[in-house]
């Protein structure tokens, strides 16, 4: 359900959430049970290195929450708590966060990259909890649209200072998203024995 703050819509309406949730379950994504997600952490590290940011994520989104499958934090701890995430059940790492936390749900619903040089320049995004809670000031994200046409989540880079991402930043995050979608396809084909 979208959350309104004043007259601004904080969480976008997501009509594709049920289909996305089913697809994530089929792919075995959206839950972190084992070391099979280490490659997503490595990918998040690469995103942070390429974009020179303190935080980056590979984020899968179902109808109820976001899951940081890949996470890069400044301290290198990969702790979701650094970004306000919590654990979900015993043995689960703290990588779950509410839908109104951050900008990836907007990327998924829009099915387009989102470039925010300074989130405070956009009233719709300035009131997001990540601004006050974590100090996020800039965001660069692109959707992960799989072979079935479903936007499963987003890959993103965020910084605590405004960043002029420009066309180069947009091209970079879109290229990284395409690369990761290729990895997801290979992962699915390997699981099916294709």
pLDDT at 40 over 50: yes
Beta bridge partners of 105: none
Q: 92-108, pLDDT tens digit by residue?
A: 457 888 888 889 999 99
* The pair of three-digit structure tokens given for residue 112, joined into one six-digit string: 């387009």
pLDDT at 162 over 50: yes
What Rg value do the Cα atoms of the chain yield, rounded?
15
As a whole-number percent, the residues of the chain with pLDDT over 90 amount to 54
Mean pLDDT over 23-48 rounds to: 82
Q: Which CATH superfamily is domain 4-192 in?
A: GAF domain (3.30.450.40)
Mean pLDDT of all residues belonging to the chain: 84
Within the chain, strands assigned E span 4-5, 8-9, 55-61, 66-72, 96-97, 114-116, 138-145, 151-159
**pLDDT band for position 75 (cuts 50, 70, 90):** confident
Contacts of residue 165, defined as CB under 8 A and 6 or more positions apart, other chains included, come to 115, 117, 138, 140
Mean pLDDT over 56-75 rounds to: 90
DSSP strand pairing (151-159 vs 138-145): antiparallel
If one compares 72 and 32, the residue with the highest pLDDT of the two is 72
Buried (b) or exposed (e) across 116-154, using 16+ Cβ within 10 A? bbbbeeeeebebbebeeebebbbbbbbbbbbeeebbbbb
* Cβ count within 10 A of residue 42: 13
pLDDT of residue 194: 60
Beta bridge partners of 142: 155
If one compares 30 and 143, the residue with the highest pLDDT of the two is 143
Beta bridge partners of 155: 58, 142
**Residue whose tokens read 């099979």:** 36
* Cβ count within 10 A of residue 80: 22
pLDDT at 28 over 60: yes
Q: How many residues does the chain have?
A: 194
Contacts of residue 27, defined as CB under 8 A and 6 or more positions apart, other chains included, come to 146, 152, 184, 187, 188
If one compares 72 and 36, the residue with the highest pLDDT of the two is 72
Among 65-74, 117-126, 151-160, top mean pLDDT goes to 151-160
């Amino acid at each position: 359900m979208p959350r309104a703050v004043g007259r601004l819509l904080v969480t976008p309406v997501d009509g594709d959430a049920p289909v996305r949730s089913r697809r994530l379950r089929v792919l075995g994504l959206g839950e972190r049970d084992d070391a099979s997600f280490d490659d997503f952490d490595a990918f998040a590290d690469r995103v942070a290195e390429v974009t020179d940011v303190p935080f980056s994520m590979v984020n899968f989104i179902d109808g109820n929450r976001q899951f940081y499958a890949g996470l890069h934090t400044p301290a290198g701890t990969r702790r979701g708590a650094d970004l306000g995430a919590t654990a979900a059940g015993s043995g689960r790492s703290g990588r779950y966060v509410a839908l109104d936390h951050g900008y990836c749900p907007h990327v998924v619903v829009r099915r387009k990259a989102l470039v925010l040089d300074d989130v405070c320049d956009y009233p719709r995004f300035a009131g997001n909890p990540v601004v006050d809670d974590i100090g996020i000031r800039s965001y660069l994200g692109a959707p992960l649209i799989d072979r079935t046409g479903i936007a499963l989540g987003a890959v993103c880079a965020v910084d605590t200072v405004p960043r002029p991402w420009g066309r180069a930043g947009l091209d970079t995050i879109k290229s990284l998203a395409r690369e990761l979608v290729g990895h997801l396809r290979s992962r699915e084909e390997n699981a099916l024995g294709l």
